[in-house]
Amino acid sequence: MFGKILKENRLKARMGLRELAGRLGISPGYLSDLENEKVPPPSEKVILDMAFTLGVDKGELLKAASKVDPELSEYVAQEPQVADFLRMAKEQGYQKVDWEKLTQLAKVVGLGKEKGKEP
């Protein structure tokens, strides 16, 4: 899945395989292997570099690679309540509909920072 999405984005960016590999500092052969699903997806850092270089949303490539954005990992590590909540959600078997409801609820009650206001 990752390789297919990577290749689609590379072609949309009108970038050759050798050009992208050069910009990323990886070999064209390795990039070809990634696109053809012959090797597992690279590290999160390389995926972020790919997204930036191709001008695509990093979330799309990270999701396709089944990887977590390092910013989210750092946030979870810094906020123990987040890890506790995610653990509880996993134990409770939260499904897609539960996450959608929770997202709507958070918006309705105004959780988090309001746009344009300082904390």
Evaluate the CA torsion angle 21, 26, 28, 32 in order and state its sign.
Answer: negative
pLDDT tens across 59-75, in order? 999 999 999 999 999 99
89 with 95: CB under 8 angstroms? no
Whether 43 and 95 share a structural domain: no
Is the pTM higher than 0.85? The answer reads no
pLDDT in tens, 13-60: 999 999 999 999 999 999 999 999 999 999 999 999 999 999 999 999
Measured on CA atoms in the order 76, 64, 34, 15, is the torsion positive or negative?
negative
Residue 119 has pLDDT above 50, yes or no: no
- Domain of residue 98 covers 79-109
Q: Do 14 and 54 belong to one domain?
A: yes
Q: Residue 28: inside a domain, yes or no?
A: yes
